[in-house]
């Protein structure tokens, strides 16, 4: 059986639609509920980015990560100053804190906003 290439493409597009659709960055995803969001930068602010990536370690304190809202864990870090904390967020802090906290789609400014969010939780 022969299938023209165009037919196959249409068929694949149809299948993607059935699974809920793919919402690419820059498209209006909100009106397309149930779709998979393929966005890079921030689509919901620092808290959303925190929940997506940083929370993996920082919610439970994995590997000694300072927990959100844990003043005791954060106070010695706050003394280092925000610039140092931003740099740790962006560059990582070996061995356990990965660069950009594994939020590979976050820009440096996104990381700074998340660090602000984390620090605000203990102020």
Q: Does 112 bind ligand HEC (CB under 6 A)?
A: no
Among 23, 35, 66, 67, indicate the residue that binds ligand HEC (CB under 6 A): 66
- Range 25-58 burial, b when 16+ CB lie within 10 A, else e: eeeebeeeeebeeeeeebeeebeebbebbbeebb
- Binding residue for ligand HEC (CB under 6 A) from 23, 29, 54, 68? 54
Neighbours of 73 (CB within 10 A): 16
CB 92 within 8 A of CB 35: no
The piece of 12-20, 25-33, 37-45, 103-111 that touches ligand HEC (CB under 6 A) is 103-111
Binding site for ligand HEC (CB under 6 A): 53-54, 56-58, 62-66, 77, 80, 84-85, 88-89, 93, 96-98, 100-103, 106, 111, 114-115
């Amino acid at each position: 059986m022969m299938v023209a290439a165009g037919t196959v493409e249409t068929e694949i597009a149809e299948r993607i639609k059935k699974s809920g659709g793919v919402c690419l960055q820059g498209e209006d995803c909100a009106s397309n509920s149930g779709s998979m969001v393929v966005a890079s930068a921030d689509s919901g602010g620092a808290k959303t980015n925190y929940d997506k990536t940083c929370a993996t370690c920082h919610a439970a304190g994995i590997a000694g990560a300072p927990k959100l809202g844990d003043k005791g864990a954060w106070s010695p870090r706050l003394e280092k100053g925000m610039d140092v904390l931003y740099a740790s967020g962006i560059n990582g802090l070996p061995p356990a804190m990965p660069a950009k906290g594994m939020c590979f789609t976050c820009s440096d400014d996104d990381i700074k906003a998340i660090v602000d969010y984390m620090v605000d939780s203990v102020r």
